Amino acid sequence: MILALLRRDLAQFFPFTGSGAALPTVFFVAVAMLFPFAVGPDVNLLARTGGGVVWIAALLAAILPLEKLVARDIALGFFDQLKLRGATEEAMMAVRLLAHWLSFGPPLLLATFPAAALLKIEGESFSILLLGLLAGTPGLAAIGLMIAALTASLRAGAALSGLLLIPLALPILIFGAGALARGDPVSLGFVGAISLGLVAIAPFAAGAAIRAAREG
């Protein structure tokens, strides 16, 4: 059942198969492309600030899929039908978390290659950036899932979820972008730890949220 569910969720959210699911990645590259136009082609400046821009672009890209992440399937009765078949909300949300991350994490990491080239991020900085995003995106996905589940029954949910994600993502951003600025891979450990903690609680928080949405 878990595998069938994961396949369905992936088909729904994955770039090129799901409707408009490639958008976050395209958006990410577009931001990285615009930045040099905005601040000018000074190579040193770009190399110094580029990492932060990539992180912010990643954060914004993580917000884009939130609207469809949970609310749509609640309205469909999809989770209800799964529940009747004995699945727990926690399991549904764990699968959804994995599918959500797979649909924007790896594409984002791939898109980091052209983005880094545009922003003149090279050598060690680039590997720190890539590792940081690898460690940080699961955390972003977990925050996104919890927020999407919590705001699913609200009318202004979509707009609100973006607003809520930004402050919650601050620790990941500070350590992730900080590691890059100081050339210090140790902070990446913090990013990884925060991500792990978030990934561990997200299915339970999101599961409780969709149960509560049902009672509404």
Name the nearest CA neighbour of 32 among 48, 55, 12. Answer: 55
Nearer to other proteins, 182 or 214 (CB): 214
Say how many residues touch other proteins, by CB under 8 A: 19
Integer Cα distance of 201 and 149 in angstroms: 13
Among 5, 66, 152, 188, binds other proteins (CB under 8 A): 5
Place of tokens 């925050």: 143
16 binds other proteins (CB under 8 A): no
Among 6, 83, 174, 193, binds other proteins (CB under 8 A): 83
155 binds other proteins (CB under 8 A): no
Q: How far is CA 7 from CA 12, 110, 159, 174, in A?
A: 9, 22, 28, 34
80 binds other proteins (CB under 8 A): yes
Among 42, 77, 163, 201, binds other proteins (CB under 8 A): 77
DSSP helix/strand/coil, 163: helix
Return the range that interacts with other proteins (CB under 8 A); candidates 1-9, 34-42, 113-121, 150-158.
Answer: 1-9
85 binds other proteins (CB under 8 A): yes
Residue type, 177: A
Helices marked H in 40-150:
43-63, 66-69, 71-76, 78-84, 89-118, 123-150
The vertex-39 CA angle with 37 and 40, nearest 5°, equals 65
19 binds other proteins (CB under 8 A): yes
Residues that bind other proteins (CB under 8 A): 1, 4-5, 8, 12, 19, 75-78, 80-86, 214-215
